[in-house]
Amino acid sequence: MKKTIPVILVVCMLLLSAACGGEKQVTVADGLTTTPVTVKANATVEAVLEAAGITLGEKDVVTPALTEKPNDGDTVTVDRLTEVKIVTDDGEKTVSLVGGTVADALKEAGVTLKADESLNVAEDLRLYELTGDIVVAKQITVTLTADGKTEEIKTAVMTVADFLAAQKVEYTDTDRLTPAADEKLTNGSKIVLQRVEEKTETVKEEIPFETKQEYSDSLDSGKTQTKQQGVNGEKEVTYKIVLVDGEEESREALEEKVLKEAVNAIVLVGTKTNAPERETGANGKEIVSKVAVPDCDGSGHGYYVITYADGSVDYVDY
């Protein structure tokens, strides 16, 4: 008679097989450093640390414990023994803690802030994030203008960069910061942080036509006539735009592409003179005026008084 294996037993055998022969990925968080490692499915925390190349100090603490077997996707956290120095007006104290924050270090050292005192770092900062000593000092008042608001803040004497870090204000290399990040604050310091953004924009723009003049001796002097109508052209321009706190500060053309050339307008300007030609006398002189003087007897005869351009005068009968 043929024997069958129960379904539950088959499932258990498959799970056991996967656990023994499969792999898992675990992330090791050691202070500011995170290291993903791939280990066997049944590996312990100790094996995970070995795969990550991490060695524990005598008083360092790891979570979960070394003998635990983390699941796929879990994080193993290493808390190192950290020695920090706390500087106050009364002197210096050094404390050692495994993990913890600035507030934990102050508590360990028995330091309590007075009403007029402040820290150079945030109290919730992890000790492994410290880059220097913890300093307790008399408060100063500084003004911070950033992200659309201005506020007065009491703080300890520190650099601008440390102050912004303590206030959890982030900024980039392109942002404008006054005073400079490495300057030390004094009472009444005014910190201004401007957000700077650069972007490109491509737009179509009109190319205005020009008006040209041509002179024509077939057109009376002083008269004008349109010979050709002007037509605007079109171009595509790519700009680099600088925004400061969201407002456009500058615009620089990076590239221009003509889509349609402009057609210039042409206007004719007349130069023709319409003055009548002057009469000349029998002597060839140009006559300026010719005045008829009739005889008094009513015969229809008389004489002309002719004045020439040179000023001479003739009398000619008619």
- What is the three-state SS of the chain? CCCCCCHHHHHHHHHHHHHHHCEEEEEEEECCEEEEEEEECCCCHHHHHHHHCCCCCCCCEEECCCCCCCCCCCEEEEECEEEEEEEECCEEEEEEEECCEHHHHHHHHCCCCCCCEEECCCCCCEHHHCCCCEEEEECEEEEEEECCEEEEEEECCCEHHHHHHHCCCCCCCCCEEECCCCCECCCCCEEEEECEEEEEEEEEEEECCCEEEEEEEEEECCCEEEEECCECEEEEEEEEEEEECCEEEEEEEEEEEEEECCECEEEEEEEECCCCCCCECCCCCEEEEEEEEECCCCCCCEEEEEEECCCCEEEEEC
Quote the pLDDT of residue 276: 64
Residue for token pair 């790519």: 238
HSE on the CB side for 137, CA within 13 Å? Answer: 17
List helix spans (H) across the chain: 7-21, 45-52, 102-109, 160-166
- Whether 163 and 118 have beta carbons less than 8 Å apart is answered as no
pLDDT in tens, 66-102: 999 999 999 999 999 999 999 988 889 999 999 899 9
Q: Which fold has domain 7-79?
A: Ubiquitin-like (UB roll) (3.10.20)
Residue 241 vs residues 43, 146, 177, 197, 247: alpha-carbon distances, Å: 55, 21, 20, 8, 10
Query: What is the C-alpha separation between 282 and 258, in angstroms, rounded?
Result: 69
pLDDT in tens, 271-292: 887 666 678 888 888 888 788 7
Extents of the domains making up the chain: 7-79, 81-196, 198-272, 287-317
Give bridge partners of residue 146 from the DSSP assignment.
149, 193
Residue 285 vs residues 152, 307, 315: alpha-carbon distances, Å: 99, 10, 14
pTM: 0.50
Quote the pLDDT of residue 3: 46
pLDDT band at 29 (very low <50, low <70, confident <90, very high): very high
Q: Thinking of the domain 198-272, which architecture would CATH place it in?
A: Single Sheet (2.20)
pLDDT in tens, 122-141: 889 899 888 889 989 888 99
- Whether 243 and 194 have beta carbons less than 8 Å apart is answered as no
Q: Is the pLDDT of residue 7 over 60?
A: no
Q: Is the pLDDT of residue 8 over 70?
A: no
Burial readout 135-150 (b: 16 or more C-beta within 10 A, e: otherwise): bbbebbebebebeeee
Mean of pLDDT values over 244-263? 96
